Amino acid sequence: MTEKAVVVQKSFQEKMKERIKESIGELMSDEELKNLVDRGLEEAFFRERKLNSNSWESDKYEKPLIHEILKELLRKSVDKHVSEFIDGHSDDVMEAIKEIHSLGIGNALLNAVNKKFSTDIFNLQTNIEQRLNGQ
């Protein structure tokens, strides 16, 4: 019995891919290829990521991808170390809890909010004063 070989015609795109793969050494040196890969990794992992591409909205950015990857990878380890620290310093933690409780939860929340936003509020106040004074 005679076997017939099936020949599959390659698309233009497939032919170009093969040709580029074959001649990559002629097109760029190893150093240029390394630099290209380095730039790609820098762009993919370490630069802020643009969320929208609409011209009618202001640009919004996300933290670099490496932040999310590290956050996910380190979360369990950090949680474990925090738990161990709290277990090893339970007296100090209980004292802090008692102090917060004696001040009142509302007061503790107010102090935390005040601490969190005091710099931003000061900067806003300064900015408004400068604009009103024409600076």
Q: Does an H or E element contain 49, and which?
A: strand 49-50
What DSSP assignment string belongs to 85-110?
HHHHTHHHHHHHHHHHHHH-HHHHHH
Task: Please give the span between the terminal C-alpha atoms of the chain, in angstroms, as a whole number.
Answer: 94
pTM over 0.85: no
pLDDT score at 108? 74
**Distance of alpha carbon 83 from alpha carbon 74, whole angstroms:** 14
Mean pLDDT lowest for which of 55-59, 76-80, 85-89? 55-59
| The two structure tokens encoding residue 38 | 């380095």
pLDDT in tens, 87-133: 898 888 888 888 877 777 777 778 888 888 888 888 888 888 887 88
pLDDT score at 2? 55
CA 80 and chain centroid, separation: 23
